[in-house]
Amino acid sequence: MNTGSATPPETVGQLGEFGLIDRFVARLGAAGQALLGPGDDAAVLPAADGRVVVSTDSLFEGRHFRRDWSSAEDIGHKAAAQAVADIAAMGARPTGVVVALALPAETSVKWTDGLADGLRDECARAGTAVVGGDVVRADLIALTLTAFGDLAGAQPVTRGGAHVGDIVAVAGRLGWSAAGLVVLTRGFRSPLAVVNAHRRPEPPYAEGPHALKLGATAMCDVSDGLIQDLGHIAKASSVRINLDTERFTVPDKLRDVAGALGADPMSWLLEGGEDHALAATFAATVELPAPWHRVGSVVPGHGVYVDGVARDAGGYDHFA
Amino acid sequence: MNTGSATPPETVGQLGEFGLIDRFVARLGAAGQALLGPGDDAAVLPAADGRVVVSTDSLFEGRHFRRDWSSAEDIGHKAAAQAVADIAAMGARPTGVVVALALPAETSVKWTDGLADGLRDECARAGTAVVGGDVVRADLIALTLTAFGDLAGAQPVTRGGAHVGDIVAVAGRLGWSAAGLVVLTRGFRSPLAVVNAHRRPEPPYAEGPHALKLGATAMCDVSDGLIQDLGHIAKASSVRINLDTERFTVPDKLRDVAGALGADPMSWLLEGGEDHALAATFAATVELPAPWHRVGSVVPGHGVYVDGVARDAGGYDHFA
């Protein structure tokens, strides 16, 4: 029997499955655009133009985040950012996110509260909301987010539409998360600017639909590193992509951090993932407004070249 | 350098991330109704009536399946069945499934081939297909499936619409998976009829949209046990549900197995989950065609009663 003086539940096990779901859903707030939100066998979302854009991504503790490096809020932000960035990369606006959460019974309620807050706040930043989910018990924490988007009648911007003669441009940060990861890996907790960039990426969500309107011929988000992700565009479009390092500006902060660590900041910009910038190709005649800036060009051939030198565009293999 | 005499890759680690994705996608076959299938940042699915039904579910090795009890094909079948049954439970037809797969590098390619086959075949049985996904490395095997559905202009059948005076009916198997689980737990591998029912549930997918057309007032799939799942309908609809055991027929096979094990087969029918039958309420005037059969009624009050005795409708707590 619950009494007024009972100790509030401190762990998910004490709270119970349905207690956790109720608490998590209450914390997430309104289910955005959902026609039917959490609490039934399935949610129902609007898909105004008769299509829905769908992307799914998993994050596992120890592989994609560490609880000693990132708060629960950070992990919520990062999971939502990663999921919704894929929707933006098609040129779509997000319409909802569902969250499949696995966690041990020993997980603290404080932690799951923080996760819900981070998911809610990052979804709000992207103009969307969590509309449903699932909770299971597991021996470690893992999240799979599936995000949905609306193309408002337009064709999606795929990876396969880059043409010879196009320019290559980027919107959003490059290298910041990689710098933060190196700092954390070496046992430091600052400078906060880069550590926080690793903890909470800031994808330029609105630039996805913006690029579509500007006529982007191909687009992807930079999740595994610019060279690797452009390698997917080069392969899918049967073209070669040339990057010119002269066109990249190394931010002062990254130059400082790299100097202190004896690292090459340009390698962070070119190879660092998880900032979820957007990279796209456009006809050379398109006048690119900020924050888009040109970093290269599309030529005949295959692969990704930096200053004329072929780089491995096979990219980061998560199983290697 | 690959040569004609090279040994084919035996593990996911040898195959590599992109090799695995290519092989998995090829094995899955055509992406069904997808307007844009696997291979880009996101998939694009039709949502003909301007809405999409969405449900997500995770299965973790050791919690939801055991590789010594179920083949890779079985696990693919079970994961797809569980995901798509939630779509049917809203009265919708499935339009696609995305699969987020986590697995160790040591996983055999033979196993992932089997998983792809099981997913493909169960999706085909349900009239749908895998349209996209994600692969990450982890220390154990886990799958999160997100399934999509189309209501063809109708309103979804939620858990909240049951009315006093309605009848309660079920379509599909009850208790078979529970019987199979007991057999496996006791170290047996037969009788195959119940063991296979546990390995590969057979949800009556088409009965979801059928029930909607018949005017179902509330519906859910039986994933955690009939009493528990009807408890969700009772709670959401603010009604009491009475079940009459006289109205249940215990299949001979379950009676035999229960006899051999000294178990009560009726408890399997009432409390066993994972068969993914559909349970629904209908106005008493509705003539129910097979396979729907009446098992109870909706009366004022709350909770679920069996032969007049209140049963715990709180249900199985995965964290208890």
Q: Is the pLDDT of residue B3 over 80?
A: no
Give the distance from residue B65's alpha carbon to the nearest chain A alpha carbon, in angstroms: 12
Residue B167: φ, ψ to 5°: -100, 155
Give the distance from residue B50's alpha carbon to the nearest chain A alpha carbon, in angstroms: 4
Contacts of A134 in chain B (CB under 8 A): 56-58, 144
Among A51, A58, A92, beta carbon nearest to B144: A58
Contacts of B148 in chain A (CB under 8 A): 52, 54
Structure-token pair, residue A27: 């914390």
Edge-first strand order for the sheet with A142-150 is A130-137, A93-103, A142-150, A51-60, B43-46
Q: Are A141 and A276 in contact (CB under 8 A)?
A: no
Percent of chain A with pLDDT over 90: 91
Give the distance from residue B320's alpha carbon to the nearest chain A alpha carbon, in angstroms: 6
Contacts of B16 in chain A (CB under 8 A): 317, 319-320
Confidence of residue B315 (pLDDT cuts 50, 70, 90): low
Q: What pLDDT score does B316 carry?
A: 60
Among B58, B96, B149, beta carbon nearest to A102: B58
To the nearest 10°, the Cα dihedral for A272, A277, A283, A286? Answer: -130
Tokens 């000693």 correspond to A68
Question: Are A52 and B133 a contacting pair at CB < 8 A?
Answer: no
Among A46, A105, A151, beta carbon nearest to B319: A105
Question: Are A43 and B57 a contacting pair at CB < 8 A?
Answer: no
- Residues A18 and A12: their CA atoms lie apart, in Å, by 10
CA-nearest residue to A61 within chain B is: B138
Contacts of B320 in chain A (CB under 8 A): 13, 16-17
Model pTM greater than 0.90?
Answer: yes
Q: What pLDDT score does B198 carry?
A: 96
Among A13, A63, A315, beta carbon nearest to B137: A63
**DSSP per residue over A157-224, as a string?**
--SS---TT-EEEEES--SHHHHHHHHHHTT----HHHHHHHHS----TTHHHHHHHHT-SEEEE-SS
Q: What pLDDT score does A302 carry?
A: 93
- Residues B213 and A22: their CA atoms lie apart, in Å, by 31
Contacts of B20 in chain A (CB under 8 A): 319
- Residues B107 and B104: their CA atoms lie apart, in Å, by 6
Rounded to an integer, the average pLDDT of B132-154 is 96
Q: What pLDDT score does B183 carry?
A: 95
Tokens 């858990």 correspond to B159
Q: Indicate the SS3 state at residue A135.
A: strand
Q: What pLDDT score does A318 carry?
A: 74
pLDDT in tens, A259-300: 999 999 999 999 999 999 999 999 999 999 999 999 999 999
Q: Report, in angstroms and rounded to the nearest whole number, the Rg of chain B calculated over CA atoms.
A: 21
Percent of chain B with pLDDT over 70: 96
Question: Are A149 and B51 a contacting pair at CB < 8 A?
Answer: no
pLDDT in tens, B243-297: 999 999 999 999 999 999 999 999 999 999 999 999 999 999 999 999 999 999 9
Strand blocks (E) in A61-190? 93-103, 130-137, 142-150, 167-171
Among A44, A63, A90, beta carbon nearest to B41: A90
Q: What pLDDT score does B31 carry?
A: 82
Structure-token pair, residue B271: 């409390």
CB pairs under 8 A between A and B: 236
CA-nearest residue to A106 within chain B is: B319
Contacts of A92 in chain B (CB under 8 A): 42
How many other β-carbons are positioned within 10 Å of the β-carbon of residue A286?
18
Prediction ipTM score: 0.93
Percent of chain B with pLDDT over 90: 91
Q: What pLDDT score does A5 carry?
A: 53
Which of A15, A20, A41 is best to mutate for the B interface (most B CBs within 10 A)?
Answer: A41
Stretches where chain A sits below pLDDT 70 are 1-6, 312-316
Among A137, A318, A320, beta carbon nearest to B136: A318
pLDDT in tens, B14-70: 999 889 999 999 999 888 889 999 889 999 999 999 999 999 999 999 999 999 999
